[in-house]
Structure 1
Amino acid sequence: MERAVEEQSKRRVVLVVDDEPSLCLLAAELFTEAGCEVVSASSGTEALATLEERSDVSLLFTDCRMPLMSGTDLARTASERWPNLRIVLSTGFQDRLLPEWPMVWKPYSVRTIERVVDRTFA
């Protein structure tokens, strides 16, 4: 039983959230290349449902600007409900400075995602 818990804690499960399908797919591919298991969602509501279902998600990587529920609203809700969940926001708009969580600027590269992974799962 201890080994199962230890193995689960070593898993690198990332929830990628972006309402733009091509950007969601790109981020998912980059996290997969960095050795992570990836789960995707296209909205904040879908992401919260995924977090309810998947207790193994360690990192929430979300776009800031999404319809209905912004990435920042998602981050606030998720951090309240799952305080151990690591959160990184992503945006292409320089006016978004949110010191509460780390920020990744679009367009991001393989190296940027590798740094996110290194800092999250170190």
Structure 2
Amino acid sequence: MTDTCVLIVEDEPLIRVDAVDMVEDEGFTVFSASNAARALAILETRDDIGILFTDIDMPGEMDGLDLARTVRKRWPHIAIIIVSGHTQLADAEVPNGGVFFSKPYLRATILKALHQADARTGD
């Protein structure tokens, strides 16, 4: 069990539920949002989020990459994991300290990235 909380942002309900289950099974406390606006509302009210796990492609004024950039500026301590099935990111496009994975991603790859981020947040 870890003390780190993960915020999962995914607009596809089935993918979001699957991601929440995967991360909770690893012992993390999970919050979820279906878009960037809801994610920011959660971040405004919680100071225990240590990892943002977000899809890029979402409806609304802000996509997941914009969300990740905003989080990096406002909450620099939060680790960032970005995924997408439609967009490829160059390393330079990923916010500093963040990581990017293409969908479909391997469960083991995401879990490794979560545990690495968790280890960094404990520093």
TM-score tier after normalising by the smaller chain length: 0.7 to 0.9
Instruction: Give unmatched runs, 5+ long, in structure 1.
Output: 1-9
| SS of match in other structure, 1:26 | helix
Match of 1:83 in 2: 76
Rg: which structure is higher? Answer: 1
Contact 2:56 2:83 survives alignment (8 Å): yes
Contact 1:58 1:85 survives alignment (8 Å): yes
Residue identity over aligned pairs, in percent, reads: 38
Deviation at 1:114, TM superposition (A): 1.6
Deviation at 1:96, TM superposition (A): 3.0
Return the letter of the residue paired with 2:59. P
CA distance in 1, matches of 2:3, 2:41: 20
Aligned length: 113
Deviation at 1:42, TM superposition (A): 0.4
Matches within 5 A, 1:28-107: 28-68=20-60, 69-93=62-86, 95-97=88-90, 98-100=93-95, 101-107=98-104
Q: TM-score, structure 2 length as denominator?
A: 0.84
Match of 1:120 in 2: 117
CA distance in 2, matches of 1:81, 1:23: 27
Aligned-residue RMSD, C-alpha? 1.4
Deviation at 1:94, TM superposition (A): 5.0
